[in-house]
């Protein structure tokens, strides 16, 4: 587990919408990775909606927001559609 202030470990993962997310692709660009336990639970939904409501502000700053959980891409797609989310999952 990385400590605060340490560099993020290299990663590569699929995202809903068919894109791949990797540390290498994000290098040199600010980003927020937020971790949550499960799609469509009360706290996780509130968090995802909150980031989605602020996505234009993040976009203006050039910051990509990525939510990470162990759910499948199909569950992410349903979660996104149900709550009109605009963050990458």
Per 3-state DSSP, what percentage of the chain is helix, strand, and coil (rounded to 5)?
A: 40, 20, 45
Angle at 80 between CA 82 and CA 70, to 5 degrees: 120
Whether the full predicted model's pTM is greater than 0.85, yes or no, is yes
Checking phi first, is residue 62 left (phi over 0); if not, alpha (psi -120 to 50) or beta?
Answer: left
Per the residue annotation, which of 16, 21, 39, 44 is the catalytic one?
44
pLDDT of residue 52: 97
Verify whether residue 13 is a known catalytic residue: no
CATH number of 31-89: 3.40.30.10
Residues 35-83 have pLDDT tens digits of: 999 999 999 999 999 999 999 999 999 999 999 999 999 999 999 999 9
């Amino acid at each position: 587990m990385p400590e605060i202030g340490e560099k993020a470990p290299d990663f590569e993962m699929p995202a809903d919408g068919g894109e791949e997310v990797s540390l290498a692709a994000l290098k040199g660009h600010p980003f927020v990775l937020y971790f949550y336990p499960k799609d469509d639970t009360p706290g996780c939904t509130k968090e995802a909606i909150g980031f989605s409501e602020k996505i234009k502000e993040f976009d203006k700053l050039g910051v990509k927001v990525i939510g990470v959980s162990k759910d499948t891409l199909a569950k992410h797609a349903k979660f996104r559609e149900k709550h009109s989310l605009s963050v990458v999952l």
